[in-house]
């Protein structure tokens, strides 16, 4: 019978609290849909620095390597901001994990649900039109990983993209659009960057394999503007590493519900890292009030993308929807709510 | 007596229409405040391509060189989108002008005026708190002008910054903050980029010359999010070329009134290029309905920054405010309005 090994990297801040709820949910769907799971915890981020001196200890890496997927909480906090950039929890754990496992594809859905349009910081005349976008971000190339260096008087970073790198992320975007509304908006700065010109040409060519999907190109500056003016125009956004970093957070802000947004980072063999879009929120850590939904929905994405357990994934998503419509939510969603992290987790478990 | 030579580069789309109003306003304030002006038109952008084959003809460059400032309209349109990137109107005119005249400093103010908060696509609970930011963007360095190239299989761009380049733009930001609300938010991606680490260190050092100004650092992804969630927290944003390109357009979208936003691009000797933040809007060109205010306010910035004619600049800004409060506006500001470009220009002239 099927059995999935999951590395559980809860991390810092609210990470451990929300992860506990995701683990409960996973146990329940495993029973219900008759597959086995093992959940192996490992140190990551600030917690790992405190215990071992390193944000991504070898022991953690080896647990990940022996697993079928990584469920990631969140890392970072004020305690570690004084460290050198590449020793910091976020950068020192996420970038090497992405590179080691070739997680080239980051998927970040962002929605304004009509019933929760008021969560969005957009005007009702805009938010009432809804938003349902999937940001497909290239995650292992570009200026993040190009040659860089510095002297006393200057510094440089290199953005480099190969046709092959652009092709593989473009295929993901077009395939995703086919299951959604058949539209891809490819983001670039082709009026300035050579990498963007190559990006645009390559995406045009890949598009020919997907005749049912409409392709449009948009400059990053215009996209940053259009997302605010009329987010309902977008379906799939196809972005390089840096532009995807910026726009996926802009989308999260527009959705207005960071606590609801999961994210998946995948490689070409079904392995993935799943994490909430929000951060470690040290200000509310330990209070039992953090929203567990983004972590729980990240677990659902793991079931879908890494394990092919579509029914179990959908069951979780429906249970979450049910709780949302019943107003069983933490106070980031409704300031008057008295439900805490565990209560929302319990309600989702009960619905399942 | 004082006399200022102005190169007038009206360009494409709505450029000529809105420029005509700015010229009228300049003539009036010149009389009123007793200085002389000469307005020398020159071809730029698509209009220049059609007439000479080049977006920035030598003749235009030489008129600019003989002038004290450039008043720029807008360039580009569907007719020229098929051209190679560096031949296109926007890129082929703006980038060489910036580089030739060393216009390293771009100033883009963005406001939500309480009386016009409804123009903003943000929710009233956010927009009612207002926004009053000045985006200070480095304009002649970074990934725009670094070494770039490509082969059949890959492409690269280089972002390079020197300490000297960062220092000069940082001084502009801090000096501006001293005249505003004494806060600078410096934008970077110091968790990933070496140029950002140098940026952050250098800005920290420059900040010591301005003890009255509070400095804060923010990652670009977080800034893209915070601008939407609580734009009222910002005063001066200090950005490199690429991040400033993105955030200044995001700010314009949040303000909701592209037709009201001017911009100034300056060098170290008081020479500058002044242009509306919006584009050439080919869809409404020639209809006499374009908003001339951004162009007129750009002329005001020219009087202030290049000529030191503060009283004349302020008179224009007050006349614009007067028309706004009298609801003498084009239909981008009020869809029910029947005022056209010339009527709004005439009202501003009459107020002066
Ligand atoms: C922590 C940082 C390096 C990372 C990134 O920029 O990719 C984060 O912002 C993200 O989006 O996951
Ligand atoms: C046309 C383009 C090269 C330019 C830029 O990116 O700087 C434009 O977007 C701007 O902001 O003035």
pLDDT tens figures, B75-122: 999 999 889 888 999 999 999 999 999 999 999 999 998 878 999 999
Residue whose tokens read 């109107």: B89
**For position A261, what pLDDT does the model report?**
95
Q: What are phi and psi of B19, to 5 degrees?
A: -65, -40
B12 given a catalytic annotation: no
- Chain A hits for B142, CB-CB cut-off 8 Å, are none
Alpha-carbon distance B166 to nearest alpha carbon in chain A (angstroms) = 10
Taking CA atoms only, the protein residue closest to ligand 1 atom 7 is A245
**For position A289, what pLDDT does the model report?**
96
pTM: 0.97
**For position A257, what pLDDT does the model report?**
85
Binned at pLDDT 50, 70 and 90, residue A86 comes out as confident
Nearest to A122 among B121, B154, B225 (CB): B121
Burial of A216 (0-12, 13-18, 19+ CB in 10 A): exposed
> Could you tell me the two tokens for A113?
């649900």
Q: Of B309, B274, B306, B336, nearest to B19 (Cα)?
A: B274
Q: Is A46 annotated as a binding residue?
A: no
Least confident of A68-77, B106-115, B131-140: B106-115
Mean pLDDT of A335-349: 96
**C-alpha of residue B93 to centroid of ligand 2, in Å:** 10
CB atoms within 10 A of CB A288: 13
User: Over the stretch B43-52, which tens digit does the pLDDT of each residue have?
Assistant: 999 999 999 9
Name every residue whose Cβ is closer than 8 Å to that of residue A287 and which is 6 or more positions away in sequence.
none
Q: Is A159 close to B156, i.e. CB distance below 8 A? A: yes
Binned at pLDDT 50, 70 and 90, residue A116 comes out as confident
Q: What is residue A80's DSSP assignment? A: G
Assign B4 to helix, strand or coil: strand
For the Cβ of A94 lying below 6 angstroms from any atom of ligand 1, the answer is yes
User: Over the stretch A261-309, which tens digit does the pLDDT of each residue have?
Assistant: 999 999 999 999 999 999 999 999 999 999 999 999 999 999 999 999 9
Alpha-carbon distance A182 to nearest alpha carbon in chain B (angstroms) = 25
Mean pLDDT of A28-47: 98
- Chain B hits for A195, CB-CB cut-off 8 Å, are 148, 150, 155-157
**For position B116, what pLDDT does the model report?**
85
**For position B86, what pLDDT does the model report?**
85
**For position A220, what pLDDT does the model report?**
98
Residue B73 has pLDDT above 90, yes or no: yes
> Could you tell me the two tokens for B191?
């968790």
Q: Give strand pairing partners of B273.
A: B70, B265
For the Cβ of A90 lying below 6 angstroms from any atom of ligand 1, the answer is yes
Catalytic residue among B31, B118, B209, B221: B221
For the Cβ of A91 lying below 6 angstroms from any atom of ligand 1, the answer is yes
Q: Give strand pairing partners of B238.
A: B136, B186
> Could you tell me the two tokens for A170?
């473009």
Q: Is B122 close to A122, i.e. CB distance below 8 A? A: yes
**For position B115, what pLDDT does the model report?**
79
> Could you tell me the two tokens for B247?
């955030």
A221 given a catalytic annotation: yes
Taking CA atoms only, the protein residue closest to ligand 2 atom 6 is B245
For chain A, give the percent of residues with pLDDT over 70: 100
Measured between alpha carbons, how far is B39 from B6 in angstroms, rounded to an integer? 5
Q: Is A225 close to B252, i.e. CB distance below 8 A? A: yes
- Chain B hits for A237, CB-CB cut-off 8 Å, are none
Binned at pLDDT 50, 70 and 90, residue A215 comes out as very high
For the Cβ of B222 lying below 6 angstroms from any atom of ligand 1, the answer is no
- Chain B hits for A164, CB-CB cut-off 8 Å, are 153
For the Cβ of B240 lying below 6 angstroms from any atom of ligand 2, the answer is no
């Amino acid at each position: 019978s099927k059995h999935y090994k999951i590395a559980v990297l809860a991390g810092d801040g609210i990470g451990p609290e929300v992860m506990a709820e995701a683990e409960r949910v996973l146990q329940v769907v495993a029973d219900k849909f008759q597959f086995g799971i093992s959940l192996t915890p490992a140190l990551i981020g600030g917690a790992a620095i405190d215990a071992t001196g390193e944000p991504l200890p070898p022991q953690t890496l080896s647990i990940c390597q022996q697993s079928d997927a990584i469920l990631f909480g969140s890392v970072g906090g004020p305690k570690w901001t004084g460290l050198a950039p590449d020793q910091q929890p976020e950068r020192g754990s996420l970038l090497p994990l992405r590179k080691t496992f070739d997680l080239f594809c980051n998927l970040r859905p962002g929605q304004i649900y009509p019933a929760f349009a008021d969560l969005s910081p957009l005007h009702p005349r805009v938010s009432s039109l809804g938003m349902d976008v999937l940001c497909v971000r290239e995650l292992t190339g570009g200026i993040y990983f190009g040659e860089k260096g510095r002297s006393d008087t200057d510094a440089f970073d290199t953005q480099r993209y190969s046709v092959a790198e652009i092709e593989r992320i473009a295929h993901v975007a077009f395939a995703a659009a086919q299951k959604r509304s058949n539209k891809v908006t490819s983001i670039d700065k082709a009026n300035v960057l050579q990498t963007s010109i190559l990006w645009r040409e390559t995406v045009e060519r890949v598009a020919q394999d997907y005749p049912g999907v409409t392709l449009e190109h948009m400059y990053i500056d215009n996209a940053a503007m259009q997302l605010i003016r009329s987010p309902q125009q977008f379906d799939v956004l196809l972005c390089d590493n840096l532009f995807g970093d910026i726009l996926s957070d802009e989308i999260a802000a527009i959705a207005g519900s960071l606590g609801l947004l999961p994210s998946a980072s995948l490689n070409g063999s079904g392995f993935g890292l799943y994490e909430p879009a929000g951060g470690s929120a040290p200000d509310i850590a330990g209070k039992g009030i953090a929203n567990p939904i983004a972590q729980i929905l990240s677990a659902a994405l793991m079931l879908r993308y890494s394990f092919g357990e579509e029914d179990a994934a959908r069951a979780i998503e429906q249970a979450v929807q049910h709780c949302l419509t019943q107003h069983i939510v933490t106070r980031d969603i409704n300031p008057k709510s008295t439900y805490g992290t565990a209560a929302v987790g319990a309600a989702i478990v009960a619905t399942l």
